[in-house]
Structures are given as structure tokens and as C-alpha cells.
């Protein structure tokens, strides 16, 4: 928490709302949506607006400290984990998990693609059914 605050000192204004957002995002592996963030911050700051949530998200994206996860067709999810990684989506409960394996070395593309594109990156979405959903507890998590 002190770490979070000192990290941003003198960079952008640390308002109470922003501190709450930063705390919520710190080590958050749940891939929250803007609404998830809003609902969390609202517990402590009931008058917080979506504008503040989106503004802060944008500020963090601009600083490269948050990335947008475009997996869910309905809404954007956000990910504060800066370590490059892939995702695994449970097709029953839709939760998004992280995969930290680097597959770059084995993703050999055909020559004609390499000639056509200068490659800069890759991202893999794995699909599966998580253990909770397999053991019949899925209703707890379905969205």
C-alpha cells in the first residue's frame, strides 16, 4: 500500500478514489471490468462515478501499467499484470485465468506470412472447463 502510493508520487494526482482503484488492481488476477472496479470503489466512496473509473483506467493504460483484455464480446476487462502472459477462459463460467508460459519459440509461421508481416507479438487464448465447473459448482460462478 505504501509501495503503491510511493510509486505514483509526483506522477499523477493521488486522490482517494485513485488510491482505492490502485489498491483494488494491485496483484488483482481477476481481470475486472470497469463495472467491477466501480462496484468495488463504491463500497468506500459511494459517489464515485464511472467517469473517474474510466479516466483512471485510461491514465494507467497511457502509462503502460494496465492492459485491456479483449476476450469478452460484451465488455472490456483489464489486467494490471505487466508480465507477458496468455489467458485461459473457462467456457462455462467465463472466468479468465493466466498462463505464464512463453510460446514464442515454438510458434513458427509459414514463410509467406513472415514475408508479409513484421511480427511484433502474439497472444494465446486457451479454452477449457475449470475444475469448479467440472465438479458441479459452476452455478456459483456463472455470469
Partner DNA sequence: TACTATCTTGGAACAATTCTATTATAGAAT
Partner DNA sequence: ATTCTATAATAGAATTGTTCCAAGATAGTA
- Which partner, a copy of itself, DNA, none, binds residue 143 by CB below 5 to 8 Å per kind? none
Task: State the virtual CA torsion across 83, 88, 90, 96 in degrees, nearest 10.
Answer: 20
Burial 101-128 (b: 16+ CB within 10 A, else e): eeeeeeeeeeeeeeeeeeeeeeeeeeee
129 binds a copy of itself (CB under 8 A): yes
Sign of CA dihedral 97, 101, 106, 109: positive
Contact 90, 78 (CB under 8 A): no
123 binds a copy of itself (CB under 8 A): yes
- Which partner, DNA, a copy of itself, none, binds residue 48 by CB below 5 to 8 Å per kind? DNA
Instruction: Name which position in 34, 69, 88, 92 contacts DNA (CB under 7 A).
Output: 34
71 binds a copy of itself (CB under 8 A): yes
10 binds a copy of itself (CB under 8 A): no
- Which partner, DNA, a copy of itself, none, binds residue 49 by CB below 5 to 8 Å per kind? DNA
Instruction: Name which position in 1, 51, 106, 140 contacts a copy of itself (CB under 8 A).
Output: 106
Amino acid at each position: 500500500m505504501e509501495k503503491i502510493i510511493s510509486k505514483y508520487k509526483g506522477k499523477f494526482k493521488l486522490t482517494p478514489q485513485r488510491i482505492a482503484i490502485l489498491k483494488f488492481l494491485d496483484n488483482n488476477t481477476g481481470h475486472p471490468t470497469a463495472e467491477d472496479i466501480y462496484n468495488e470503489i463504491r463500497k468506500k466512496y459511494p459517489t464515485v462515478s464511472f467517469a473517474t473509473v474510466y479516466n483512471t483506467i485510461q491514465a494507467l493504460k497511457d502509462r503502460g501499467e494496465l492492459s485491456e483484455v479483449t476476450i469478452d464480446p460484451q465488455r472490456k476487462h483489464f489486467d494490471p499484470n505487466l508480465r507477458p502472459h496468455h489467458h485461459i477462459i473457462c467456457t462455462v463460467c467465463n472466468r479468465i485465468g493466466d498462463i505464464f508460459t512463453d510460446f514464442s519459440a515454438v510458434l513458427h509461421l509459414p514463410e509467406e506470412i513472415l514475408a508479409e508481416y513484421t511480427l511484433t507479438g502474439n497472444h494465446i487464448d486457451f479454452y477449457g472447463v475449470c475444475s469448479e465447473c467440472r465438479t458441479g459448482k459452476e452455478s456459483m460462478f456463472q455470469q
